[in-house]
């Protein structure tokens, strides 16, 4: 075995830094899910993690960098989930499975809620290679399933695939989920099935 085959030994200090960064990103993810980017402050992130604001800035130079790190984490989690979707499912069922998962993550309070129109955050995300790579990989995989479902006739072939893709992405931040949850008349599982039905089956009587 060459020296390159040896496991890389991580110092205790490095382990502690990684653990702190994980705690920071987890906290940011929760706060973004609870209140969104605009309302979240760096002060409350530092307070929730239990570190000084100056220490926080050593890990992430700005609020935008904090949000970007949380988005990259979600992208990676989504990629891992996509890799576990059974290949035996039909293209439509693969899409339904992914939509169900994104809604379950949102209802669990683990899906970052970010504004669509925020130039500083958007600029940071567009400059983040990990984020863009993850977004492209997910879009390509979902796009392939969308086109396959349209060829099978299980998805409306008249719809542009990009419109279907954006509709599926919207389920990850769908306010209908929270409105129904606040009403208290349905379980999380029932809410997911209701929104899945409106998304894939529409509102017309069948």
pLDDT of residue 115: 60
| Residue whose token pair is 């890389």 | 8
The mean pLDDT of the chain is 90
pLDDT of residue 7: 59
**In this structure, is residue 162 part of a structural domain?**
yes
CATH code of 120's domain: 1.10.357.10
**In this structure, is residue 3 part of a structural domain?**
no
% of the chain exceeding 70 in pLDDT: 93
**In this structure, is residue 74 part of a structural domain?**
yes
Count of domains in the chain? 1
Name the DSSP class of 185: S
pLDDT beyond 80 at 1: no
**In this structure, is residue 35 part of a structural domain?**
yes
**In this structure, is residue 75 part of a structural domain?**
yes
**In this structure, is residue 65 part of a structural domain?**
yes
Task: Measure the CA–CA gap between 29 and 47, rounded to whole angstroms.
Answer: 15
Residue 135 CB neighbours (<10 A) = 18
Task: Measure the CA–CA gap between 145 and 94, rounded to whole angstroms.
Answer: 7
- CA nearest neighbour of 134 among 122, 145, 125: 125
**In this structure, is residue 2 part of a structural domain?**
no
**In this structure, is residue 206 part of a structural domain?**
no
Domain region containing 113? 11-201
Task: Measure the CA–CA gap between 93 and 194, rounded to whole angstroms.
Answer: 16
Instruction: Give the DSSP H or E segment for 82.
Output: helix 63-84
pLDDT of residue 158: 96
Task: Measure the CA–CA gap between 140 and 88, rounded to whole angstroms.
Answer: 19
């Amino acid at each position: 075995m060459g020296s390159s085959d040896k496991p890389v030994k991580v110092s205790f200090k490095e382990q502690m830094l990684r653990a702190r960064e994980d705690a920071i990103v987890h906290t940011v993810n929760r706060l973004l899910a609870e209140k969104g980017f605009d309302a979240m402050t760096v002060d409350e992130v530092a307070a929730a993690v239990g570190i000084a604001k100056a220490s926080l800035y050593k890990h992430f130079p700005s609020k935008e960098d904090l949000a970007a790190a949380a988005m990259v984490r979600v992208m990676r989690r989504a990629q891992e989930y996509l890799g576990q979707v059974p290949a035996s499912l039909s293209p439509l069922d693969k899409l339904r499975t992914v939509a169900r998962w994104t809604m379950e993550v949102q209802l669990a309070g683990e899906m970052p809620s970010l504004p669509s129109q925020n130039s500083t955050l958007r600029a940071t995300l567009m400059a983040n290679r990990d984020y863009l790579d993850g977004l492209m990989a997910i879009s390509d995989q979902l796009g392939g399933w969308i086109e396959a479902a349209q060829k099978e006739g299980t998805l409306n072939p008249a719809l542009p695939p990009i419109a279907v893709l954006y509709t599926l992405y919207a389920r990850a931040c769908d306010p209908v989920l929270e409105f129904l949850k606040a009403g208290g008349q349905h379980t999380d599982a029932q809410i997911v099935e209701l929104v899945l039905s409106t998304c894939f089956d529409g509102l017309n009587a069948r």
